Structure 1
Amino acid sequence: MKRAMNQTAPDATAPETILVDLTAEVVSAYVSNNTVVSSDLPDLIKGVHAALSSINQLSQEPEVEELVPAVPVRKSVTGDFLICLEDGKKFKSLKRHLRTHYDLTPEEYRAKWGLPSDYPMVAPNYAAARSQLAKDMGLGQTRTKKRKK
């Protein structure tokens, strides 16, 4: 007979039911270890219930805001500079700015904004100029003379 009384209703896992059960457990544990005047018991129950309710509300996941870039993605890449989607500033190279101001790697930045993996981190004209400078200096070519030992 006692077992039938302890069985719970089908919706017993509802948040309010769980909250009432937790409140009862906390209050009974407190009362068993501390002296409480019977006239203070309702206030104690209300206080514990309110505290547990506020914890439950804090644990709810906050709504995720949809990201809005500072400029449209299509306009963020120009020949001479890139425009940061985070703050709208213009740069020849985004990598350092992203690391120092937002602690983002290029991969994290691309993932955050849903950009393709080939989205540039360096302005196209700047990359071409640096490439030409390196070629003019002879970088990347194999040496024709061998060093003498």
Structure 2
Amino acid sequence: MSPNERNEDLVRLTSDVVSAYISNNAVPHSSLPSLISEVHASLTRLGAAPQEAVEEPKKPAVPIKKSVTDDYIVCLEDGKKFKSLKRHLSTHHGMTPDEYRAKWGLPSDYPMVAPGYAAARSALAKSMGLGRKPAPEVKPAKAKRTRKA
């Protein structure tokens, strides 16, 4: 859109807004020029390119070193305690564990599950025999036939 077309659109929109306002409100003739200029300025600002918002780096809700304990992991976004952080991140913050680690500058091996909880689950799985290949079945050896003499 050329600047001339844009200006024509702004004038048309300004006249539409001002005429609608005047038809529903009592406005003295002396305030019409200021009303028109204010509406035009507002529409011009709305049509301008949006300014980039400068985002300040967020501080974690708790210190990173204190976020992992044996019983729970503290979410750096909101400070809540969890045994497993992955589901909370996806449902409440719309993040994957990798995005979370990148946002807070965490190492790639930063846990998403409390260490004590992971150990308890591991012990339970091992006691049930999970994670092992089944032992091959031992077939009984066939008895050798002997000849009768």
TM range, normalised to the smaller chain?
A: 0.5 to 0.7
Aligned residues: 120
Q: CA deviation at 1:74?
A: 0.9
1:115 is paired with a residue whose SS is coil
Unaligned runs of 5+ residues in structure 1 are 1-17, 31-39
Q: Retained in 2: the 8 A contact 1:83–1:91?
A: yes
The aligned counterpart of 2:65 is 74
- Structure 1 moving runs of 4+ over 2 Å: 21-28, 40-50, 53-57
Task: Find the aligned partners of 1:27 and 1:141 in 2 and give their Cα distance.
Answer: 73
Question: 1-side partners of 2:39 and 2:88: how far apart?
Answer: 49
For 2:43, give the aligned amino acid. A
- CA deviation map 1:90-134 (0-9, x unaligned): 111111111222222111211222211111000112111211221
- Choose from 53, 57, 67 the match for 1:62: 53
TM-score (norm 1): 0.64
Instruction: Quote how far apart the aligned CAs of 1:64 are.
Output: 0.6
Tell whether the 8 Å contact from 1:27 to 1:45 is kept in structure 2 after alignment. no
Gaps of 5+ in 2: 13-31, 138-149
For residues 43 and 93 of structure 1, do their structure 2 counterparts lie closer, same or farther at Cα, with a shift above 3 Å needed?
closer
Q: Cα RMSD (Å) of the superposition?
A: 3.2
Give the counterpart of 2:121 among 127, 130, 136. Answer: 130
Q: Which has the larger radius of gyration?
A: 2
1:16-95 pair list within 5 angstroms: 24-26=7-9, 30=12, 47-56=39-48, 59-95=50-86
Which residue identity is paired with 1:52? Answer: T
- When normalised by structure 2's length, the TM-score is 0.64
Note if contact 1:84-1:94 (Cα within 8 Å) is conserved in structure 2: yes
